[in-house]
Every structure is written in structure tokens, then in C-alpha cells.
């Protein structure tokens, strides 16, 4: 499609502009809620939690960021434990936004 139309493909989560855009959610949250001690964000591909972490800690480095994922789609936790990227191969969750592999 991109070749046919001349459009530029944009990865849904592994893209700096997407990550920056996701960070705007935290700007709105902090504007409405005020100072927070912690934020819990879902981690699927990693774009949302990356944007949240960058924006939140840029505003207040004391904010703790927690990445959450269901036990049936835990490639981020397995990747952290292994010290390398472990692809998601058989996710089992109804959280369809978390079915992807970590980017």
C-alpha cells in the first residue's frame, strides 16, 4: 500500500513519533490529577509505556512507572528476566492491545 500510494509506513508502537504521541496521555493525566507518586501503564509493544515513562519522568523524576501485562502475555517480564528480547509466541489474554510482541 505504501509503495502504491507513496505513503510512509508508521509502526504502531516502535516509532519515536508514536511514542511521543503516547506521552501526551500522561500530560493530560497530570494536568487533571496533579502530582502522582506512580503510574501503571500496560505494556504490549512498548510504545505507550515508553511515552508514559518519558513524559512523566520528564515532568517529575520522582514518579515511579510500572509496566503491567497479563500473565498470559508476559513477554516483557520474560525479556527483562532473560536480559534479551523474548518474542511473544502464544499470547493468552482478552486484552487485545497486549497481544503483540515487545518492540
pLDDT category at 102 given cuts 50, 70, 90 is confident
User: Which phi and psi (to 5°) does residue 66 adopt?
Assistant: -115, 125
Q: Please give the C-alpha separations between residue 56 and each of 26, 45, 67, 68, 80, in angstroms, as whole numbers.
A: 6, 19, 13, 16, 22
Task: Report the predicted TM-score, pTM, of the whole model to 2 decimal places.
Answer: 0.84
The confidence score (pLDDT) of residue 80 equals: 94
Q: Report, as an integer, the average pLDDT of 70-84.
A: 94
Within the chain, residue ranges assigned H as helices are 2-5, 16-33, 47-59, 75-82
pLDDT category at 13 given cuts 50, 70, 90 is confident
pLDDT in tens, 17-61: 999 999 999 999 999 999 999 999 999 999 999 999 999 999 999
Amino acid at each position: 500500500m505504501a509503495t502504491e500510494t507513496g505513503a510512509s509506513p508508521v509502526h504502531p508502537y516502535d516509532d519515536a513519533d508514536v511514542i511521543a504521541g503516547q506521552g501526551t496521555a500522561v500530560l493530560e493525566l497530570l494536568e487533571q490529577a496533579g502530582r502522582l507518586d506512580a503510574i501503571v501503564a500496560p505494556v504490549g509493544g512498548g510504545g505507550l509505556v515508553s511515552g508514559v515513562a518519558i513524559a512523566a519522568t520528564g515532568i517529575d523524576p520522582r514518579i515511579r512507572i510500572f509496566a503491567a501485562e497479563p500473565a498470559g502475555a508476559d513477554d516483557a517480564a520474560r525479556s527483562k528476566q532473560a536480559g534479551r528480547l523474548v518474542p511473544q509466541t502464544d499470547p493468552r489474554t482478552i486484552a487485545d492491545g497486549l497481544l503483540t510482541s515487545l518492540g
